[in-house]
Amino acid sequence: MKNLTPTSQTLAQKLIARAAGRAAVMPGEIVNCKVDLAMFHDSSGPRRLKPMLEELGAHIWDKSKVVLVMDHYVPERDDESRKIVRIAREWAQEQALPHVYDSQGICHVVVPQNGHIRPGMFCVGGDSHSPTGGAFGAYMFGIGSTEMLGVVVTGEIWLRVPHTQQMHWRGQLAKGVTAKDMMLHMTGRFGMNGGQYQALEFCGSAVRALSMQERMTLSNMSAELGAQVGLIAPDEVTAAWLKTTGVIQAETEWLDGFSDEGADVTRHDFDANTLTPYVAAPHSPANAHEVARYIGTRVDVAYIGACTGAKLDDLRAAAEVLRGQRVATGVRLMVAPASLQDQRAAEKEGVLQVLMDAGAELFPTACGACAGYGETMGDNTTVISSTARNFKGRMGSATAQVYLASPYTVAASALRGVITDPREVLQ
């Protein structure tokens, strides 16, 4: 075992130590942390928390640190969804919650776009993809409703300090290869439990070159490896994003907050120069291989949506492939932007018009089919999707065959009617 000192800390350890009021923490320790932000949505939040709080006679510890997003059951399509959303809206009004985003988009995109996540924060979310916050150098992870009840009442949560696996990406991604391909490659290599209760730290020249939204995809999908968090050290890219959200960057000490030299990490090396587009075949994100294995597979539906595949950068990528062209006959192209902000930006840039001209159908800015809600996939349908998961029956019928890929690959496949390497189209 390495001879470690309390001063050699990983980024994860530094963030946890700050939240625990400690100078340092070590992997395996159980510590109590103060929570800076608790996020939940219409599915995970009020309908579960409200009755438990009432039974306890308890109250929210700090309403300014709570964010509620309505994104799973909107727009309401039936009595059940109307009931769920009504509970959320009425409870938000009763509690006079100051931060409520109703039908504005997917929580993992809307929350940072509205300046709620900053470097150095310790956050929890009522959704498994809450590690998205790690893209900003915040320690953020998903918890269940019972744990969220404890947080909402006390403002604290305990955790065991995780070991850090450092995913070091050297080189530079080729045109048509994205963060989604990086993540599918890692999930295919390590499996869905490869990072179980670990802190993943993404670093290296290829990661530093990613846009903020691409970094969000990396951190988001750390959940697919079973990790607790997926961290990226904040830098000038982070600072530039925070300026666009109107956040005053007070936590300047967290800029360039990399893990210390000599910190206890398990390092894995990857070469971005040689990475090709990846596709995950049914029914697991870990069933991922180079796109070459699946070229020629016929598709019925191409779905560009979800927090990992319909942000502005993703919509731009799809438009780059489809500009001036039409999707193949018999293929349905579904586009559900990740947030209203991104949809409006795509409209302003002309990106959305390119997609519509190519034959896309526009769907609400919500979780939608990714969460099995709204217009979902029918029986025996073959789908190529920019979502994070392709579990059996998740997007609709259990007989639907869902392949995961980047927006570039989804768009290229829609164009040709079969799974296609987007680099062929972009040449």
pLDDT in tens, 122-153: 999 999 999 999 999 999 999 999 999 999 99
CA–CA distance, 76 with 227 (Å, rounded to integer): 33
Helix axes 407-416, 312-322, angle to 10 degrees: 30
Average pLDDT over residues 361-365: 97
**pLDDT confidence of residue 351:** 98
CA distances from 272 to 59, 67, 281, 309, 405 (A): 49, 36, 22, 20, 17
Mean pLDDT of the chain: 94
CA–CA distance, 384 with 377 (Å, rounded to integer): 11
Residue position matching structure tokens 């990740």: 338
Residue 5 CB contacts under 8 Å (≥ 6 apart), including other chains: none
CA–CA distance, 13 with 25 (Å, rounded to integer): 6
Q: Is the pLDDT of residue 245 over 90?
A: no
Q: Is the pLDDT of residue 308 over 80?
A: yes
pLDDT in tens, 6-63: 579 999 999 999 999 999 999 999 999 999 999 999 999 999 999 999 999 999 999 9
The closest alpha carbon to 270, from 169, 381, 184, belongs to 169
pLDDT-based confidence at 427, cuts 50/70/90?
confident
Average pLDDT over residues 338-361: 98
CA–CA distance, 37 with 83 (Å, rounded to integer): 26
**pLDDT confidence of residue 250:** 47
Domains of the chain plus CATH, in order, are: 11-271 (3.30.499.10), 280-426 (3.30.499.10)
